[in-house]
């Protein structure tokens, strides 16, 4: 057994050996440039490594372009793996699938699965890397990077690069569309954009039941709008041919309760698109607006409701208006704190125009941008000119055609003897579809279609009477407007 003095002696000789190596390294370094030596050492070690480890690796990171946007390749690989390979993974993630009540399983982090393609074996791993952290936290560190790693033998290199990766992306995209649940997004305040919950948009599943069948409006206008939407959805090649970004702007305007928000839901259901409901008052400046835009996906509708109330976009051009006039003109009730938000937001008209049709707006493609307003006359002409807001759709008071749609969906009836009376009254009284719909709704189990129609006639007559009184007072003789 070696004694303590033996051990000291061997340590001493090790020390002198190290010193000699360092001395030699310094001498060699004088005559041979060290970086050459290092370079050739690395080259040889790589060759040696490739000889004993004949595998190639491809990584697909979650974020591309300096972390600005979640990579579509990553999403496609995720969908492909959840469909084709998750059955041989032992740790799985479960999320709600398209039909509520069903769960979709996908590969969990740090899990590995195998795949086969034309006789070649391939390994997929889901990896999450985080930089070393100074503090201990329960949450994943803010900068953890996730990616998929594909490993295969180098003899399959051509097969993988030439056809397998394309196959994965194609299948993944199809699976993604098949299993996709439509989402309704809203923007988070920018304080939440960093750190553990790094999301600029939050979402829930979009479940609005409105369709074009239940939307009460002039049938001709409805058909025209649907044709326009179909042309847009199928217009990829056409937009490329004419050199225009694949996006289209809609301006929906009309009094409150005429179906602007309902129409957006009907469009989303018709096109099968996601909806991004942009709350402009919580966007602090133009660069935040740009970031929000970049993070939207294609096949989506970006909505800014009540654009005239969201920001004082007209301010620059209409300086003569007093503050009081501005406040008086806005009939939307203000929520507590809304005024403060408005002051904080530095989004400008030019920022918004850039958002709609600047260079950045072309990224991704296949997006509708919809603005709604109750006061189209208040908007800056630059904002709503054709090319930006390509189609202007007016939603107005309920006419007889619109009433028939509501009667059909609310009462399940088409023609009825009381319709003639209603038709006559509707020509005289302006009532919003929201008011008509509310009157037609069943209020109790005993309610029937006739009692609802009679109620509507009564409401229309009352509105006519009330408006006639107002007219007597003002001496105006015009079509009357319901309360």
Ligand X SMILES: Nc1ncnc2c1ncn2[C@@H]1O[C@H](COP(=O)(O)OP(=O)(O)OP(=O)(O)O)[C@@H](O)[C@H]1O
> By the criterion CB under 6 A, which residues form the site for ligand X?
214-217, 256-262, 374, 433-434, 437
Q: Report residue 333 as tokens.
A: 């009730």
Name which of ligand X, Mg ion, none residue 262 binds, using a CB cut-off of 5 to 8 Å depending on partner kind.
ligand X
Q: How far is the CB of 215 from ligand X (least distance, A)?
A: 5
Q: How far is the CB of 372 from ligand X (least distance, A)?
A: 6
Q: Which is nearer to ligand X, 80 or 371 (CB)?
A: 371
**Which residue has the closest beta carbon to Mg ion?**
261
Q: Which is nearer to Mg ion, 106 or 261 (CB)?
A: 261
Q: Which is nearer to ligand X, 215 or 429 (CB)?
A: 215
Distance in angstroms (rounded) separating the CA atoms of residues 361 and 298: 11
Q: How far is the CB of 305 from Mg ion (least distance, A)?
A: 6
Q: Which is nearer to ligand X, 83 or 258 (CB)?
A: 258
Q: Which is nearer to ligand X, 197 or 442 (CB)?
A: 442
Q: How far is the CB of 263 from ligand X (least distance, A)?
A: 7
Q: How far is the CB of 428 from ligand X (least distance, A)?
A: 20
Q: Which is nearer to Mg ion, 260 or 430 (CB)?
A: 260
Q: How far is the CB of 253 from Mg ion (least distance, A)?
A: 11
Q: Which is nearer to ligand X, 260 or 430 (CB)?
A: 260
Q: Which is nearer to ligand X, 347 or 437 (CB)?
A: 437
Residues 246-275 vs Mg ion: string with x where CB under 5 A?
--------------xx--------------
Contacts of 249 by beta carbon, 8 Å cutoff, 6+ apart: 356, 368, 369, 370, 371, 388, 389, 390, 391
Q: How far is the CB of 349 from ligand X (least distance, A)?
A: 22
Q: Which is nearer to Mg ion, 104 or 374 (CB)?
A: 374
Q: What is the 3-state secondary structure (H, E, C) of the chain?
A: CCCHHHHHHHHHHHHHHHHHHHHHHHHHHHHCCHHHHHHHHHHHHHHHHHHHCCEEEEEEECEECCCCEECHHHHHHHHHHHHHCHHHCCCEEEEECCCCCCEEEEECCCCEEEEEECCEEEEEEEEEECCCCCCCCCCCCCCCEEEEEEEEEHHHHHHHHHHHHHHHHHHHHHHHHHHCCCEEEEECCHHHHCCCCCCCEEEEECCCCCCCCCCCCCHHHHHHHHHHHHHHHCCHHHHHHHCCCCEEEEEEECCCCCCHHHHHHHHHHHHCCEEEECCHHHCCCHHHHHHHHHCCCCCEEEEECCHHHHCCCCCCCCCCCCHHHHHHHCCCCCCCCHHHHHHHCCCCHHHHHHHHHCHHHHCCCCEEEEEEECCHHHCCHHHHCCCCCCEEEECCCCCHHHHHHHHHHHHCCCCCCCHHHHHHHHHHEECCHHHHHHHHCCCCCCCCHHHHHHHHHHHHHHHHHHHHHHHHHHCCCCCEECC
Each as own residue / partner, the long-range contacts of residues 99-104 (CB below 8 Å, 24 or more positions apart, any chain) are 100/205, 104/179
Q: How far is the CB of 214 from ligand X (least distance, A)?
A: 6
**Which residue has the closest beta carbon to ligand X?**
259
Q: How far is the CB of 374 from Mg ion (least distance, A)?
A: 9
Name which of ligand X, Mg ion, none residue 249 binds, using a CB cut-off of 5 to 8 Å depending on partner kind.
none
Q: Which is nearer to ligand X, 81 or 437 (CB)?
A: 437
Name which of ligand X, Mg ion, none residue 430 binds, using a CB cut-off of 5 to 8 Å depending on partner kind.
none
Q: How far is the CB of 310 from Mg ion (least distance, A)?
A: 13
Please check whether residue 201 is in contact with residue 186, taking contact to mean a CB–CB distance below 8 angstroms.
yes
Applying CB under 5 A, the residues found at the interface with Mg ion are 260-261
């Amino acid at each position: 057994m070696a004694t303590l003095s033996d051990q000291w002696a061997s340590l001493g000789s090790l020390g002198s050996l190290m010193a000699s190596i360092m001395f030699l390294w310094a001498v060699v370094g004088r005559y041979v440039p060290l970086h050459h030596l290092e370079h050739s050492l690395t080259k040889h070690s790589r060759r040696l490594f490739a000889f004993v480890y004949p595998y190639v690796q491809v990584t697909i990171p979650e974020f591309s372009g300096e972390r600005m946007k979640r990579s579509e390749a990553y999403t496609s690989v995720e969908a492909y793996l959840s469909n084709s390979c998750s059955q041989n993974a032992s740790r799985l993630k479960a999320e709600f699938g398209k039909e509520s009540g069903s769960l979709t399983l996908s590969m969990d982090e740090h899990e590995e699965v195998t795949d086969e393609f034309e006789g070649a074996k391939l390994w997929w791993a889901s990896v999450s890397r985080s930089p070393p952290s100074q503090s201990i936290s329960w949450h994943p560190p803010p900068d953890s990077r996730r990616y998929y790693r594909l490993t295969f033998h180098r003899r399959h290199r051509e097969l993988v690069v030439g056809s397998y990766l394309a196959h994965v992306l194609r299948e993944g995209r199809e699976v993604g569309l098949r299993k996709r649940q439509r989402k309704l997004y809203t923007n988070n305040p920018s304080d939440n954009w960093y750190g553990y919950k790094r999301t600029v948009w939050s979402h829930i599943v979009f479940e609005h039941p409105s369709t074009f069948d239940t939307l009460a409006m002039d049938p001709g206008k409805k058909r025209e709008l649907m044709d326009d939407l179909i042309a847009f959805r199928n217009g990829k090649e056409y937009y490329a041919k004419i050199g225009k970004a694949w996006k289209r702007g809609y301006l929906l305007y009309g009094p409150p309760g005429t179906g602007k928000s309902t129409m957006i839901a009907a469009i989303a259901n018709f096109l099968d698109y996601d909806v991004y409901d942009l709350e402009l008052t919580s966007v602090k400046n133009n660069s935040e607006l740009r970031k929000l835009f970049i993070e939207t996906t294609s096949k989506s509708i970006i909505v800014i409701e009540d654009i005239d109330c969201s920001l004082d976009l007209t301010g620059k051009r209409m300086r003569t208006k007093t503050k009081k006039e501005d406040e008086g003109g806005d009939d939307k009730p203000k929520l507590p704190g809304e005024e403060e938000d408005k002051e904080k937001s530095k989004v400008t008209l030019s920022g918004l125009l850039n958002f709609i049709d600047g260079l950045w707006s072309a990224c991704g493609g296949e997006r509708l941008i919809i603005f709604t307003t109750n006061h189209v006359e208040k908007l800056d002409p630059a904002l709503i000119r054709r090319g930006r807001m390509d189609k202007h759709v007016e939603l107005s008071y309920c006419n007889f055609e619109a009433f028939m749609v509501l009667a059909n969906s609310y009462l399940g009836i088409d023609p009825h003897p009381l319709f003639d009376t209603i038709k006559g009254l509707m020509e005289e009284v302006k009532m919003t579809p929201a008011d008509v719909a509310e009157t037609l709704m069943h209020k109790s189990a005993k309610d029937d279609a006739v009692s609802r129609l009679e109620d509507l006639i009564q409401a229309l007559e009352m509105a006519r009477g009330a408006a006639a009184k107002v007219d007597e007072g003002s001496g105006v003789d015009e079509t009357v407007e319901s309360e």
